Structure 1
Amino acid sequence: MTHTTASRTDVCIVGAGPAGALLADTLAAAGHDVVVLEAGPRFDPEDRIAQMERSIRPGDSDHGVWEMGGPRDAYTSSGENFYPLNHARVKGVGGSTLHWQGMVMRLHESDFAATGPDGGEWPIDYDELRPYYASAEKELGVAGSVDNPFAPPRDEPYPMPAFAPSHSDSIFAEACEALEITTHSVGNARNSEAYDGRSQCVGYGTCNPVCPSGAKYSADTTIEKAEAKGVRVIAEAPVQRLETTASGERVEAAVYAKNGRTYRQEARQFILAAGGVEIPRLLLLSASDDHPDGLANSSGVVGRYFMEHLFAGMGGVLPRRETRQNHIGFNTTESHQFYDTDDPDIAPIKLEFLNYAGPSPVEMAMDAAEYGDELLETLQDSYGHELGIGALVGQAPRKENYIGLDTAKTDDHGKPVPDVHWRVGERERRTLARANEIQRAVMDELGVDIRWTVGPENTGPTYHHMGTTRMGTNPETSVVDARMRTHDVANLTIASSSVFVTAGAMNPTLTIAALTLRAADFVSESLKQT
């Protein structure tokens, strides 16, 4: 196979996930020539039904649907807590939105005012991002309602009405009312009605790992719009390093691998949109005489302050069969009542009521040994008893949590793999315990026989990679400025949750999208001035 590199272009974007897709479409609409380099393949939307069927077969895994694993995706985890990096990564056109849960909400005003233990703080506030949040909701297609009394202020309705509370949400509502816990709808990047050429949600219930109907937003649809505007997307082209000019002040080319050879893509502006692990890895791999500790790393904090959202939860069975467990595959009710707290020892908590707790009838049938009437009887007796409740807990930024390079292990191109150093701190453990207290009160009110608990000792990540190229005004303690341009390199911008200064406890994709649209304006302005 032959491959011809594109000529020098206005913008080279690394990564074709939600950030890269929005950048490409927005910048092309502004009249700029854009090339996107994506490490993974282009998946055919026509295969989604087959992918869904594979995902629910016994013995298959969710992430196996998206072909993750092997030397290309090798990593190590040498921190105190093991980090299963590949469990929820996707490399491909569309990125993480190919398999994400699809929940989207804005960070609270308090999140932008929060500081880390080292004093790091956001150089922007909520009001500065507010119009971009509205634009991001339109781009992704968000179904929601203004019924959340704890949400930050907004000026416009959601693009689509919220999904109605599920049947299991109505069961939780009884207990929450008794306990004076206020519940409200969830913002979802999936269609409650036909929107932007995509169908209304038809309820496959397999949202993670795959939405066969296309009702859930996936960034490959934005890539298609960008390509119609002239954007060139080169898939299966992992970038190996960024090369700078002789002065070291600007990026000159992205060197990428394709079909067993390497190529150079030159551009006036470069934007990294490959996520909170691969971005710092690429910067560290781009070390040179002018940038001996890695590109854009004069501060020494590239890869540092890695943050996650931690999961707390519990589930069990009701004595009566009425939960309709796993009837839909996404959340429709939450509570942000415990998010903004005056207690410095407790981090933000986002309480989630899980519609997908317990196996679905299809999963139960596929795992069963019986057939026919015997199977029907088993399903009638066993299905509909399970309930689950979850929570996201914010993690504080700490320098000792970081993404580094493991020089003893290499990928399929001979490059050092990412090494995740991660541990859960005492503040997070206290917050997880507090979340479990709230959850247990709800379950006890319902009379649930609790069968499983995830808390301080067995928590895990929700795979939201944040903080590894943090924003800031001080070049000695941050990687990018308020415009998301690196302090050290004039034509290099980073659009990712890697620029987050604090984590909050909200799913990050809507904030990524809002920051990305804002960064696109700055990049476009810079191109027009030069």
Structure 2
Amino acid sequence: MSNDKVADVVVVGAGICGSLLATRLARAGRSVLLLESGPRKGRGELVQNYRESAFKSDYMAPYPYSEMAPHPRFSPTPNDYLEQAGPHAYQAQYIRMLGGTSWHWAAQMWRYVPNDFRTQSLYGVGVDWPISYDDLEDYYYQVEVITGVGGEPDNGSPRTKPFPMERVPASYLQQRVTERLAPEYRVIDDATARNSRSYGGRPACCGNNNCMPICPIDAQYHGGIAAQEAEAEGVEIVTEAVVYRLEHDIQGRISAVHYYDWDKVSHKVTAQTVVLAANAIETPKLLLMSTSDRFENGIANARDNVGRNLCDHPAVGVSFDVDEPVWPGRGPVSPCSIGDFRDGEFRAEHAPFRLDISNGSKVASVTKELLAEGYHGRALEEQVRFRSARRLALKNAMEQLPDPNNRVTLSATRDALGLPTPRMYWDIGAYERRGAEATRAHYTRIAEMLGGTNVKHSKEGAFSNRQHITGTLSMGNDPATSVTDAWGRAHDHENLFMVGTGVMPTVGTCNVTLTAAALALRTADRILEETQHG
């Protein structure tokens, strides 16, 4: 074992939430050690990786993979890291490296709507949060200022201050779809951390249209920027540090954090406060691995709640050819949505949803389709232009109810460091299936209004997941049904906090990063309040 490290606070996971929390603590004078299981890579190297990749549709292609800190991948082999044990495969795409998964996101930074926090009280489904929208409203704004968020002022989430960023100008596709659907549907700007002007030392969006898997100019904020900001504030960052065990004292406080470097040399860190900021799969894995005579089922898991209530946005999609050229592929890939179905009395009967309208280039998929149909030569060129200019795709972000049977556990498979890989069980209930039926009805109507032909719905009964992983560390007032309290503190361990999407009890109908980041800043302030006298 190497020499020990000591800090006021140790944070495990250098994604956007862990990095923002670490920055706030360091600015208040705390010594902070930030441990990241993956490597440190620069944007230039990642962009080059993407340019050289054979599979441009693989959003993991630019990002480094190591057997020492494995994550799901889809080429050259399919997802061989997550063991699938449920009726629906949970195909997560997350990155273990400095900055985390928001390197390859679409930068959507939506607020929940107020009723998302009390679905059980209002609609008799899901669970109520231990906090309200008002408890987060100021923290929402703080994160929006840090990351530079712009969007539609009237998007269902009340605001006390305007967006700090003006919206990126609407693409031609967005303008045409908005105009033609206006009689029945209101198309609104997505709330995104994407610059429409120079902001935070980063340039304005220039419309590269590969926001996913990486913005080549850093026009959109991501966790790599957050980690750089943490380091600039004095946070000590150790990469290639795979935490494998939490140690506790006789009172149940976390007394040490143990990690392997990539040579499998063990290191020990001690701190007054421990914060777990790995994602909603890797954090439960760590807790379940950290067993002892007193906590036989793992840290924070005395009541078998760790890893349970895994939620995402089970998605169904549609594509069709509009009766006019709308030219997808110019501007951001994810510019606008239909938010009319995020809330309402219908939530007592079926899942609410938001409809994402894609502006991603369709040239690659259309070309593949035409080659399969036998096109070649000039006819192929003409049809690529014709179809790719008209092809429109939509996908929903549909709320999934928390179900304790949907969960993360440990598989019998071990990685290169001898640590268990995650085992996933994911199913889709009747509530979500009824939401999918309602979604498909709107897809049909939208296609009609746009003169759609060649309409292709995703396979009936099949659902993709949107990589919006929540629920496995749910916060709540009752330790019998939750893992953490309203501040993200483990019910069973006074000095152990958790941040990230896992603490969110419900998934709502929007991308989850903004809410997770707001919660992280709120937890940071709580830690500062409790430790202000040392």
TM range (shorter): over 0.9
SS in 2 for 1:498: helix
Partner of 2:138: 131
Instruction: Give, in angstroms, the shift of residue 375 of structure 1.
Output: 7.9
Counterparts in 2 of 1:59 and 1:158: CA distance versus 1, 3 Å = closer
Deviation of 1:333 after TM superposition, in Å, equals 1.9
Equivalent residue number for residue 182 of structure 1: 186
- Between the aligned partners of 1:505 and 1:347, the Cα distance in structure 2 is 9
Identify the residue that residue 482 of structure 1 maps to in structure 2.
486
Deviation track 1:232-274 (CA, whole Å, cap 9, x = no partner) reads: 11111110111111x0511111110112201001111000000
**Alpha-carbon distance between aligned partners in 2 of 1:287 and 1:203, rounded to the nearest angstrom:** 49
Specify which of 35, 56, 62 is matched with residue 59 of structure 2: 62
Query: Residue 99 of structure 1 aligns with which residue?
Result: 104
Q: Which string of whole-angstrom CA distances, capped at 9 and with x for unpartnered residues, describes residues 181-216 of structure 1?
A: 122211111111110001111111111111110111
For 1:38-117, what aligned pairs fall within 5 Å after superposition? 38-55=36-53, 57-58=54-55, 61-68=58-65, 72-73=70-71, 74-85=81-92, 88-115=93-120
Matched letter for residue 144 of structure 2:
E
AA aligned to 2:423 is: D
| SS of 1:65 mapped into structure 2 | coil
Contact 1:175/1:442, CA 8 A, preserved across alignment: no
Amino acid at match of 2:523: A
The Cα of 1:83 is off from its aligned counterpart by 1.5
- Distance change (3 Å), C-alpha of 1:79 and 1:31: same
After TM superposition, the structure 1 = structure 2 runs for residues 74-473 of structure 1, keeping only pairs within 5 Å, are 74-85=81-92, 88-115=93-120, 120-148=127-155, 151-178=156-183, 180-245=184-249, 247-258=250-261, 259-320=263-324, 322-343=325-346, 344-356=348-360, 358-359=362-363, 377=382, 379-406=384-411, 408-454=412-458, 456-473=460-477
Q: 1:488 to 1:456 in 2, by over 3 A?
A: farther
2:170 partner SS: coil
Structure 2 SS opposite 1:409? strand
3-state DSSP class of the match of 2:345?
Answer: coil
Q: Label 1:319 to 1:214 Cα distance change in 2 as closer, same or farther (>3 A).
A: same
For the Cα contact (< 8 Å) 2:366–2:387, is it kept in 1? no
Q: Could you tell me how far apart the structure 1 residues matched to 2:351 and 2:126 are?
A: 16
Match 1:512 to one of 507, 516, 526: 516
Counterparts of 1:327 and 1:223 in 2: how far apart (Å)? 30
Residue 357 to residue 436, structure 1, CA distance change in 2 (3 Å): farther
Letter in 2 for 1:67: P
- Percent pairwise identity: 31
**Root mean square deviation of aligned Cα:** 2.6
For 1:118 and 1:248, the matched residues in 2 are separated by: 37
1:499 pairs with 491, 500, 503, which one?
503
What is the SS of the residue equivalent to 2:432? helix
Count of matched residue pairs: 519
Distance in 2 (CA, whole Å) between partners of 1:450 and 1:511 is 38
SS at match of 2:486: coil
Cα displacement (A) at 1:323: 1.6
**Structure 1-normalised TM-score?**
0.92
Supply the distance in 2 between the matched residues of 1:48 and 1:372 (Cα, whole angstroms): 34
Q: Distance in 1 between matches of 2:164 and 2:3?
A: 39
Q: How far has the Cα of 1:436 moved from its partner?
A: 1.2
Contact 2:178 2:187 survives alignment (8 Å): yes
**Which deviates more from structure 2 when the two are superposed, residues 46-55 or residues 471-480?**
46-55
Q: 1:166 to 1:301 in 2, by over 3 A?
A: same
| Alignment CA distance shift 1:309-1:26 (3 Å) | same
For the 8 Å contact 1:172–1:442, the answer to whether it is kept is: no
- Structure 1, unmatched stretches of 5+, are none
Which structure 2 segments of 5+ residues have no match?
72-80
Deviation of 1:173 after TM superposition, in Å, equals 2.1
Instruction: Tell me the alpha carbon deviations over residues 300-333 of structure 1, each in whole angstroms, 9 at most, x when there is no partner.
Output: 111111101121221111344x121222342222
Instruction: For residue 169 of structure 2, give the secondary structure of its aligned residue in structure 1.
Output: coil
**Paired position in structure 2 for 1:17:** 15
One-letter amino acid of the counterpart of residue 527, structure 2? V
Q: Displacement of 1:360 after TM fit?
A: 6.1
Q: Deviations over 1:423-454 (max 9, x none)?
A: 01111011011111111101111111134212
For residues 170 and 491 of structure 2, the distance between their equivalents in structure 1, rounded to whole angstroms, comes to 46
TM-score norm. by structure 2 comes to 0.91
Contact 1:283 1:295 in 2 (8 A): yes
- Indicate if the aligned counterparts of 2:313 and 2:400 stay in contact, CA closer than 8 A: yes
Give me the whole-angstrom Cα distance separating, in 1, the residues matched to 2:56 and 2:63: 15
